[in-house]
Chains A and B, each alone.
Chain A
Amino acid sequence: MGIRWGGTGRGRGAAGLGRVVAIFFAVPGWLAPPVAAAADGEGVQTPARSFELRIERRRVPQAQRVLRATEGERVELRWTADEPLVLHLHGYDIETRVAPDKAAVTSFTARLTGRFPVAIHVDSAPGRSSSSAKSSSHHHVTLLHVEVHPR
């Protein structure tokens, strides 16, 4: 499981102990996570990070179970799924409905740092709800985590 070890010193204002120490302990590159390699864009003005996520049988591929972003970035989660689902990004409290015939995007500016779960709330009967409450109680599944690291 990739912990984002490296890269603390990137970006402006990353002062403090972390940076000082990072210089002392030159962090080996192999510790860098696979996903973070995707977009360490230098374009500080309009940073954006986009992820293509395909949900099948209520799962995403193992490599996408943890998505990493940096504070202040624009993040886009582009979803496709094999069944109708409601996706809930906790912390930021954003709900996104996705269906087989309808791709969807969760987009937000990563203001809060931390580790935020995206949970599946099964959308078995859009429009009508209370009657399906019981069956839904079995399907609160954490799909993945979004990690927003400080700059």
Chain B
Amino acid sequence: MWRFIPVSRARSVRGRDGRWRRAAWSAALALPAADAAAHAFGVRYDLPLPLPLWLAAAGLTVALSFVVFALVLRRGASGAGYPRLDLLRVWFARPLAHPLTLAALRVLSVSVFVVLIAAGLAGTQDPYRNLAPAFVWIVWWIGFAYLSALVGDLWAVLSPWNALYLWAEALARWCRPAGRLGLRWRLPPGVGVWPATALLLAFVWIEILWDGNAVPANIARLALGYSLLTWLGMFLFGREAWVRSGEVFAVYFGLLARLAPTEVRVTDRDACEWNLRPPAAGLLDARPAPVSTAAFALVMLATVTFDGLRETPLWADLLARLSRAGEPVGDAVWYGAGTAGLVLLPCVFAVVMLGVGAAMARLTRGDARPGSASELARLFVLTLLPIAFAYHLAHYLSYLLVAGQVVIPLASDPFGYGWDLFGTARYKVDVGLVGARFAWYTSVIAIVLGHVLAMYLAHRLALARFTDRRTARRSQYPLAVLMVAYTMVSLWILAQPIVEVAPGR
């Protein structure tokens, strides 16, 4: 996680001599003591989950797993279909999907994007006083993930990269009605979401490991670089094709939006379908995920877990052991171990998932439609998503609510020039907005619900996949073991005290 406004579960500032740190500290030290204190605002971490709650969550997880086993298979809700309600037929929802509304939303999104780039390049380089770091790392990267999973795939509408390219296409059509923008090369068929997967790994590396990730100018430059890459991809391969396989955020938020109770589908430029559906029904896809999508999902799951793991005493001990005795953790150890963990953990997840697939294949050999290890692993891998999202929520919700408040003052003064555009520049972050109890209960409730949802979805898929109900049940044993283990790991991380690795030097 971005570490500069180290509130809640985010790592605290590591004392490195990066430019941004120096900038921040010289600013802090140039002020009188009271101001310097106010400068490093809002540091609060969540408390580790207490044992009684931990036990309750673990017990509930296991008990409810059996309930799912007992009920879903008996009721025999077979098939992977689900009811949909088209919101566009509902009078009050229709204006929300009107082309003008969509255009307005896009204008808003592009404006925010432009302001963030400008703030990054032209604003103060003190990460506390610049809107870009807080907005990008807290409000957008965490907040938008929640919005996607709890509301719907809004990124499809709001993505500034998509919107700007849409406008460019419209402009091109207006200039030369016969012409069209771009070369429309065909992406090789096996590409899938591999480009997005690689970009996700790079992005997460920047997010949780790179020291310069809070420097406003770095954020702006990275955003500009990514814009060029995205538009180049769109130009070469067509907008939609690139959004499907290379626009990492479209893939990421799109995957999370499969958990949402609505489906937003932008079919054409401004035409849009909008259905209400049972939450997480988007994961009930009876076709196995393509290999690249499965890989993307595994990277998502593994990096979320890794981010939590990195803040446990276990990881701190490992880094300390890798460093020379008595010396603080150096760059080589920090980046080496972090990068290795970031790359290896998805591999471990993939091996485990394939192992589960193999076990399922073995247990269902007698079925009329037996499957291979890879096919079954890819069919069920997305059902782990609710657990990952629940853990993400447990990990970050109080962080979003507390640290996210910094955008209230920063919105009024995005460049750090002392402006007060909306009269909120003097807002002070309320560290006590959510307390330990809130964090604990939301964590436990989210994790138990996520687990139950995952189990339920997997059962539904198994019933759709296998002809015989008994084989369907048997297929779920290995997966249930995996899900319980995954949930327990998440709970275990939440029960660890958050520790920061010793400063650089």
Interface residues of A (CB under 8 A from B): 1, 3-6, 8, 16-18, 21-22, 24-25, 27, 31, 66, 71, 86, 88, 90-95, 97, 111-117, 119, 121, 129-130, 132-134, 136-142, 145, 147-150
Contacts and interface: CB of A to CB of B under 8 A. Distances in A.
B326 to A, nearest CB: 11
Given A6-B51, A18-B50, A130-B29, A150 B437 contact: yes
A147 to B, nearest CB: 6
A140 B15 contact: yes
27 contacts: A1-B313, A4-B50, A5-B50, A5-B52, A17-B56, A17-B441, A21-B56, A24-B52, A86-B33, A88-B40, A91-B44, A91-B431, A93-B40, A95-B37, A113-B435, A113-B437, A129-B29, A130-B26, A130-B29, A133-B30, A134-B22, A137-B15, A138-B503, A140-B25, A142-B500, A145-B45, A147-B47
Given A90-B43, A141-B15, A150-B435, A3 B497 contact: yes
B206 to A, nearest CB: 22
B44 A115 contact: yes
A142 B13 CA distance: 9
A116 B30 contact: no
A27 B47 contact: no
Contacts of A145: 45, 497
Interface of B: 6, 8, 12-13, 15, 17, 21-22, 25-26, 28-31, 33-34, 36-38, 40-48, 50-53, 55-56, 313, 431-432, 435-437, 439-441, 444, 495-500, 502-505
A137 B53 contact: no
B37 A88 contact: yes
A9 to B, nearest CB: 9
Nearest to B49: A3
- The dominant DSSP class at the A interface is mixed
B46 A8 contact: no
A62 to B, nearest CB: 12
A142 B328 CA distance: 13
Given A91-B44, A112-B435, 20 more contacts: A3-B496, A4-B50, A18-B52, A21-B52, A22-B52, A90-B12, A93-B41, A97-B33, A112-B432, A113-B47, A114-B8, A114-B44, A115-B45, A130-B26, A130-B29, A133-B22, A137-B15, A137-B21, A137-B25, A141-B503
Contacts of B34: 95
A3 B29 CA distance: 35
